[in-house]
A and B are shown apart, each in its own frame.
Chain A
């Protein structure tokens, strides 16, 4: 069983604050790391697909970094807005299985 952990489990921030959360995963047999955003009553949607150590991806105010050697990825949100409120999931793909192991998610609430 692969251990993929996310922290914190939940987070409340004020509109305009910047925030970040962590995904930790096994540092061996790495293939890819995904970040998804899951808004209430909607389907999870991919934010980033990360495959290389040192990868940095950015989409608008959201960015992510990847360290495969130590087994962690950070997701950053700059200037949080209420519409950023969602559960953010990371998923680890190992080189052998090609199945995704999801973390339990970080539930972000941005207060206006």
Chain B
């Protein structure tokens, strides 16, 4: 079946502009995660959606970052007033919670460059 998809694959934006990144999880996966990897660093957790529960936003680095998820489908990550330190690869992953393993199925990522 179809895997996790993300769009756009690449985004170059000017400092101060807003950007919106999209993630389509695997159908039926109730949990969705956003991560980012900045150059030379590891994967950094941003936010976690689980079904209809309140999202775990503990990883969002500032109030310029927000994310929404419509039911158990598409999620968008919005970064307002982008800064150069926001440049990173943003990865989305989904998982089937009933499997209890929390194995992550990752999308191809969005490479964001803030100039």
Interface residues of A (CB under 8 A from B): 31-32, 34, 36, 42-46, 49, 51, 89, 91, 93, 97-105
Contact = CB atoms under 8 A, between A and B. Distances in A.
A44 to B, nearest CB: 5
29 contacts: A31-B102, A32-B102, A34-B102, A42-B108, A43-B4, A43-B106, A43-B109, A44-B106, A45-B106, A46-B105, A49-B101, A49-B102, A49-B103, A89-B42, A91-B43, A93-B102, A97-B56, A98-B48, A99-B45, A99-B48, A99-B59, A100-B104, A102-B35, A102-B43, A102-B45, A103-B42, A104-B42, A105-B42, A105-B43
Contacts of B102: 31-32, 34, 49, 93, 98, 100
A99 B57 CA distance: 11
Contacts of B4: 43
A48 to B, nearest CB: 10
A31 B101 CA distance: 9
> SS class of chain A's interface: helix, strand, loop or mixed?
strand
Interface residues of B, number: 24
Interface in B25-72: 33, 35, 41-45, 48, 50, 56, 58-59
Contacts of B108: 42-43
